[in-house]
Amino acid sequence: MGFDICEKDGKFIVASSSGVAKEQGVGINDVVVQIGTVVLADKLKDVENGERFREVTRMLGSFPRPLTIVFAKPSDGNGEGGEEEQKGDETEK
C-alpha cells in the first residue's frame, strides 16, 4: 500500500511511508482520518479499543479500489498543522 499504520492514543498514525504514498506527501505521523467515505471518528466511536485497529485494517484491505484515504498533518504543538489533506487514490492492496 505504500504506508504502514499504528494506533496511538486512539488515532491511526502513519508509521512508515514509501513509494507512491511518500511521493503524494504521506508522511510519518500523519493521521488517517477517512477511508473511502468512512470518517474513522464516527465509525469507531462504538468499537471497543481492542478491535479498532482490526477494523481499520479490514477496511483498508476490503474496500473497493481505487480507494481514497484522507490524512491530517499532525499539529506542531503551537496550534499549527492538523489540516486534512487528501492524498489521492490508493490502487494497491
CA distances from 72 to 28, 29, 36, 82 (A): 11, 9, 15, 6
CATH for the stretch 3-76: 2.30.42
CA distances from 3 to 46, 70, 91 (A): 26, 13, 13
pLDDT digits (tens, 9 = 90+) for 61-72: 999 999 999 999
pLDDT digits (tens, 9 = 90+) for 26-58: 999 999 999 999 999 999 999 998 899 999 999
Any idea how long the chain is? 93
pLDDT at 91: 42
| Domain range list for the chain | 3-76
> What's this model's pTM, rounded to 2 decimal places?
0.80
